[in-house]
């Protein structure tokens, strides 16, 4: 009789060991998936704000001439305004946030009164965008991603100021 019970335990032991191993492996996989999803979400959020910083830095570099870049409100939203002449026709570019997106509106200055807030092209998902002129040569930008995370940047104008 003792041999039979001992035999049953020795038969069940590998099965129990296998179940413990399987459940442990499953738990590790599920935990890894959750960690991966969290990292992926943070990466996506950082992508939007970091891309916005890179985008604005490039805009500043490409248009850095006296009086071409200013910080002005656009229909009640903080905006960066870039002025340029193309074939002697004045154009403006407004970069602002509206309706969950960072937007860019490039338009002939004479046509500006025909625009509405959602006229600009969607660039990136962005909850909010703040722009503040700190000095003649320094602009503070703050980008807020859709989940509320934010990134700030200070961009310097190398020309002699943003105002003409």
What is the four-CA torsion angle of 72, 78, 83, 86, rounded to 10 degrees? -140
3-state secondary structure of 50: helix
Average pLDDT over residues 16-41: 93
- The band of 162, judged by pLDDT with boundaries at 50, 70 and 90, is very low
**Which range has the top average pLDDT, 8-17, 57-66, 87-96, 152-161?**
87-96
- pLDDT tens for 105-141 read 999 998 888 888 888 999 999 989 999 999 888 999 9
In this structure, the number of other CB atoms found within 10 A of the CB of residue 51 comes to 16
The 8 Å CB, 24+ separation contacts for 118-122 are 120/94, 120/95, 120/96
Q: Mean pLDDT throughout 67-75?
A: 90
Alpha-carbon span 128 to 29, nearest angstrom:
36
Please give the span between the terminal C-alpha atoms of the chain, in angstroms, as a whole number.
102
Identify the pLDDT of residue 41.
Answer: 81
Closest listed residue to residue 115, CA positions, set 146, 87, 84, 91: 91
For residues 133 and 10, give the distance between their C-alpha atoms in angstroms, rounded to a whole number. 78
Structural domain boundaries in the chain: 1-164
CA nearest to 82, candidates 91, 74, 51, 73? 91
At residue 91, the pLDDT reads: 95
Q: Which secondary-structure segment (H or E) carries 75? A: none
């Amino acid at each position: 009789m003792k041999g039979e019970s001992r035999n049953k335990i020795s038969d069940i032991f590998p099965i129990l060991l296998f179940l413990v191993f399987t459940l442990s492996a499953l738990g590790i996989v599920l935990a890894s998936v959750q960690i991966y999803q969290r990292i992926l979400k943070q990466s996506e959020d950082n992508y939007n704000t970091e891309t916005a910083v890179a985008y604005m830095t490039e805009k500043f570099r490409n248009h850095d001439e006296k009086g071409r870049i200013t910080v002005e409100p656009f229909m009640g939203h903080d905006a960066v305004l870039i002025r340029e002449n193309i074939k002697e026709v004045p154009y403006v570019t407004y970069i602002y946030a509206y309706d969950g997106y960072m937007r860019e509106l490039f338009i002939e200055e004479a046509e500006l009164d025909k625009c509405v807030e959602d006229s600009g092209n969607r660039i990136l998902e962005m909850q909010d965008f703040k722009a503040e002129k700190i000095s003649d040569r320094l602009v503070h930008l703050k980008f807020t991603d859709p989940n509320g995370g934010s990134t700030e940047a200070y961009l310097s104008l190398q020309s002699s100021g943003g105002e003409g």
